[in-house]
Structure 1
């Protein structure tokens, strides 16, 4: 299998990333694995083929994540024909590029759609990924599994929602890693105007009804092909607990991860989401759950495998490579 991971930039990849674990799992099986940065693609001088300056990822015996990634970065880039790939795995974060490199933000979806049309298997499906990158995608699922919400750029509408619903969360429609995520106590929130102004600087805002138990963090649950991701009996899921006075449980904001037991509420959520995720071609996603509600769907470069491995001493990424092998074999 010829497999390329499409990332923001090869030089900024980190060995602890989920992407590194995926690439190592594939290379360890003898697959031909490459890294391609957003700015490394070329079209026009090769009979219409999409080309790339790519870094080869080769597994060596006793490789750690650090040594595996170090060699990738040390290798000279080589030209490859992207049309000849079996799989392109989109692992770039468009939100990360949105402000500093706006030209780069849409390119994973753009190149992914081009290669998909040329017969390459692209994960996740770029036709759906453009929608799923936005928190608006959650609104396409049944109301029973998501909190009441409002998407708007009208500060007055946000104020009315807070007055009616009370305790709620306001955040950018396009955002990640806890940036500009604020708790609002209700209509009497003293800083509501300032919080709203900060969020609206990033475009549309989504304001969600606060789900009971949210103050204790959320659960990150990974789904593969619409089902709970499992490997060797271990389910890829954990709870993120906030630390100090910061209510955000994001690991990037200092939250810590603890084991999670999958119960009836989580199973109902997964069963409710399965058919749509499969129909939309979103093979590998992470969902954030509080109680019996999904508060966020992470379809673009979902991460957190380092927490799964640390908590359960199991690397679950081989199950994802199994899925890719099966898709290529049946194509």
Structure 2
């Protein structure tokens, strides 16, 4: 199959989940393209065009870092293909991590992907579902309250004070749009710097406050789902505990220095997955990350979930074979059903 990975920018992309998936697709003999989110070309009288870097055949590497370095350093002229040349478009850019001078990049990947999807290319995750879940913390609020901590979304300080009192005068504040643990604050009984923090966050948009879960001191667990089920390979599940060695740091993001550890998959986690999965499947969200503390889901990542690049280091499979095989099956179903299956149905078909 011909598969194209959309990332923020080729020259700046670190070795992460997108790259390990790309490498596996390449090793399974597929034609792999990679492009930045700024490399779509639209003309109203022609199929959508994509200015891509085609991963060369016969690369010589011994690690994922060497693989990606060779792709990045390839000086070949970008290849312009159209949607007619493509089987799968895998959206892997994270709009919430774009810099202020790249606001144009936040919505453009999903917007162009919707058009490509309508031209018959399999888009993962479903582009219309991604549009709906673009503010993933608000999408999170659509899930049943029984699996979530108490929360409020507002831009009003009085609302926050009232909520803070209701949850025992300890809450977590974060921007409604954002990721990677950036601009996340713990507000305790002294309300230290609350006014300043609120002004900073509300200047960026809506603010979400969640009740503080004391169990977060033990870290949180990233559970990676595919087709609404926990990603599994060789009898192991893609479940990663993230623990920060700094006892004063309540955030457990790997990007902020937390360490990945192997952990058990619990009944509480399974219950959260069971309750969350029907909506993910209905919406066409193929590849999703759930962040769980004990028996509560604290965040959902549908835009560009990561974690696969840490798996082998903690004694888990890399899980990429299972992911790419799942995409291969989707292409087989697409052919067998003569392109009659809706993208969102195919996206989560097992």
TM exceeds 0.5?
yes
Unaligned 5+ segments in structure 2 are 335-350
CA distance in 2, matches of 1:55, 1:140: 38
Aligned to 2:346: none
Residues 274-313 of structure 1 correspond to what in structure 2 (within 5 A)?
Answer: 274-313=277-316
- Taking the aligned partners of 2:325 and 2:20, their CA distance within structure 1 comes to 14
Aligned match of 1:27:
26
Aligned to 1:57: 55
Output aligned runs, 1:130-169, within 5 Å.
Answer: 130-134=131-135, 135-166=137-168, 167-169=170-172
CA contact (8 A) 2:223 2:289 kept: yes
Match of 1:110 in 2: 111
Could you say which residue in structure 1 is the equivalent of 2:128?
A: 127
Does residue 253 in structure 1 map to residue 246 in structure 2?
A: no
Contact 1:169 1:184 in 2 (8 A): yes
Change (3 A) 1:13 1:190: closer
Q: Could you tell me which residue of structure 2 aligns to residue 101 of structure 1?
A: 102
2:47/2:119 contact within 8 Å kept: no
- In structure 1, the residue matched to 2:65 is 66
Worse-superposed segment, 75-84 or 289-298: 75-84
State the Cα RMSD in Å: 1.5
| Alpha-carbon distance, 1:62 to partner | 4.7
After superposition, what is the alpha-carbon deviation per residue over 1:252-306, rounded to whole angstroms, capped at 9, x for unaligned?
Answer: 1111111110011001111111111001111101110001111100111111112
Deviation for aligned residue 1:313: 4.6
Secondary structure of 1:300's aligned partner: coil
Q: 2:41 corresponds to which residue?
A: 42
Q: Which structure 1 residue ranges, 5 or more long, are not aligned?
A: none
Match of 1:262 among 250, 265, 288: 265
Partner SS state of residue 191, structure 2: coil
Instruction: Give the number of equivalent residue pairs.
Output: 328
What is the correspondence of 1:160-179 to structure 2 with a 5 Å cutoff?
A: 160-166=162-168, 167-179=170-182
Within 2, Cα distance between the matches of 1:265 and 1:220? 13
Match for residue 226 of structure 1 among 219, 225, 228: 228
Alignment partners' CA distance in 2, 1:297 and 1:74: 34
Give, in angstroms, the shift of residue 213 of structure 1: 0.2
Residue 204 (structure 1) shift: 0.5
* Aligned 8 A contact 1:243 1:249 in 2: no
CA distance in 1, matches of 2:128, 2:41: 21
Q: Is the 8 A contact 1:8 1:93 kept in 2?
A: yes
- Structure 1 residues 307 and 68: alpha-carbon distance in aligned structure 2, compared to 1, 3 A threshold: same
- Kindly provide the CA deviation profile for residues 23-51 of structure 1, in whole angstroms up to 9, marking residues without a partner as x: 01101011011001111111228x41111
User: What corresponds to 2:91 in structure 1?
Assistant: 90
Provide TM-score, normalisation by structure 2.
0.90
